[in-house]
Structures are given as C-alpha cells and as structure tokens.
Amino acid sequence: MVSQVMQSEARGPSAEDLGRIVAEKSGRPGALLAVLEAAQAAHPANFLPPEVVAKVAELMGLPLSQVRNVATFYSFFNMDPQGRHTLTICRGTACHTRGSRNLLEALMSSLTFTPVEPGQTEKISLTTQDNEFTVRTVACFGQCALAPVVEVDRVIHGHMNRQKLLSSVSKITEAKKKEGGRT
Ligand code: FES
C-alpha cells in the first residue's frame, strides 16, 4: 500500500530503495539517523515525504511517532521539497549583531519571495516557485568568530555581506541561464 503511494510521489525513493537503505544501515549505532539521511538524499527534492517516513518506520519496526519526531527534530532533515540551491542564513546572536537580518532581507527581496510577516524572520525555510533556491535560517553554525555566516550549497562563508551574498545568487542564476542556453 505504502509503495503504491510512494510510486505516485514525484520520483521519491521506492519501497525497494528504502528496503536496501534499511538493510545497509540497520544494526549500526545511529541507524535511524543514517537511514533517514540516506532516504532524504535519495529524493531528488532532498526531503522526507510522509510516505517515506512511514515506510522507514515500518521497515525498521519502529513506532511512526518516534521516526517522525526524529525527522522533525533535526534541522538537516527537510519535511518539504527543497530548491536546487540552498542558502542558509545564521540567525544566532553573533550573526544577528553583525547584520544577518539585513542579509536575510536582501535575499527575500532579491528572490521576490512572499513577504515575511514582522517577527517571522527568526526561523524560516522557503523555496522559490521555480525550485531553484531554498532560503533557510539556523540558530548557529558554531562559527561565530566568522559572523555573519551564510552557507551556500553546504559551503560556509564567513564575514558575509549583502554584496557578496547577492553576487553568489547572481552567479548561480547566470550559470543556470548558460546551462539552459546550451540545451
Ligand atoms: S551565531 Fe552565527 S555562527 Fe554562531
């Protein structure tokens, strides 16, 4: 039943894929985290749909609530489809003091996201309609000496400023245009 649901889910890991992942990771310390991480990586939109979470619980013989709690607790698990590129702004105290809100607002306006309500910029995860970018926030990268810190596609950039950040976004957008021009 679950596998039928998953086949209709856009290109997510199949029940067979998940079975292989569980067989490979089970029995090791932190197996559930490793399974969820691999399941997420197997989804082209880099997230864990409810059907995948349910199938992992079934395959591992764990209560669904436990698996769901783990998936939603850790910030590196995504419960919604993610863009091809991820821009993560640190909203911790050190980064906030050094202007991370300004960086976040620069992204929000340059990527023309739906405006964020006042007070809602502390923790967000928004994806553009074309699925190119996901903008997220984290509480702290543990790199406070480099504040303000922004992660662009898993690469940490310290001492970020508005110009450098928007330049990174432009480079990604230009590269995509060139890619499109070749096809
Ligand atoms: S507060 Fe931003 S890295 Fe720690």
| Strands of 150-152's sheet in order across | 125-127, 133-138, 85-90, 150-152, 155-157
- pLDDT of amino acid 3: 41
- pLDDT of amino acid 182: 60
Ligand 1 within 6 A of CB of 95: yes
- pLDDT of amino acid 124: 75
Domain extents in the chain: 2-73, 85-182
Residue ID of nearest Cα to ligand 1 atom 1: 92
DSSP of 99-121, one letter per residue? THHHHHHHHHHHTTPPPPPTT--
Ligand 1 center to residue 99 CA distance, Å? 11
Mutate to test the pocket of ligand 1, among 97, 98, 104, 143 (most ligand atoms within 8 A of CB): 143
Give the tokens for residue 90: 């640190």
Ligand 1 center to residue 168 CA distance, Å? 20
- pLDDT of amino acid 172: 93
- pLDDT of amino acid 15: 94
Ligand 1 within 6 A of CB of 141: yes
- pLDDT of amino acid 81: 83
- pLDDT of amino acid 29: 84
Of 75, 87, 102, 92, nearest in space to 162 by CA: 102
Ligand 1 within 6 A of CB of 93: yes
Atom in ligand 1 nearest the alpha carbon of residue 140: 4
pLDDT in tens, 120-147: 545 577 888 888 899 999 999 999 999 9
In 97-177, DSSP assigns E strands to: 125-127, 133-138, 150-152, 155-157
DSSP of 8-28, one letter per residue? HSTTPPPHHHHHHHHHHHTTS
Cis before 118 (ω within 30): no
Ligand 1 within 6 A of CB of 147: yes
- pLDDT of amino acid 4: 39
Ligand 1 center to residue 136 CA distance, Å? 14
Ligand 1 center to residue 183 CA distance, Å? 41
List the pLDDT tens digit at each of the 183 positions of the chain. Answer: 434 334 334 578 999 999 999 999 988 889 999 999 999 999 988 899 999 999 999 999 999 999 999 999 987 898 888 889 999 999 999 999 999 999 999 998 888 665 555 555 455 778 888 888 999 999 999 999 999 999 999 899 999 999 999 999 999 999 888 877 664
CATH 3.40.30.10 for the 85-182 domain, yes or no: yes
Contacts of 47 (CB under 8 A, 6+ apart): 40, 78, 79, 80, 81, 82
Model pTM score: 0.72
- Are 46 and 37 in contact, with CB atoms under 8 Å apart? no
